[in-house]
Amino acid sequence: MSTVTRAKWLFGTGAAVSFLLSVGLWFTGNKEQGQFVGLWVPSILALGAFVLAGRRA
């Protein structure tokens, strides 16, 4: 597995786990915590895009 593929998998998995944790928190009544954790998803994906774009330059 190449480094780029591993990085894509890592950032994608991190975003998916964050999303699932956010949904779980929301539906268990912890709406504010769910919203907070939900904000991590675009941040994780943006960091991944930034890191991967930096490797190509």
Q: What is the pLDDT of residue 57?
A: 58
Domain boundaries, given as residue ranges, for the chain: 3-56
**Which residues, at least 6 apart from 22, have a Cβ–Cβ distance to it below 8 Å?**
34, 35, 37, 38, 40, 41
Per-residue pLDDT of the chain (57 residues), as tens digits, is: 888 899 999 999 999 999 999 999 999 999 999 999 999 999 999 999 999 998 765
* Three-state SS sequence of 15-49: HHHHHHHHHHHHHCCCHHHHHHHHCHHHHHHHHHH
pLDDT score of 1? 82
Q: What is the pLDDT of residue 56?
A: 65
pTM equals: 0.86
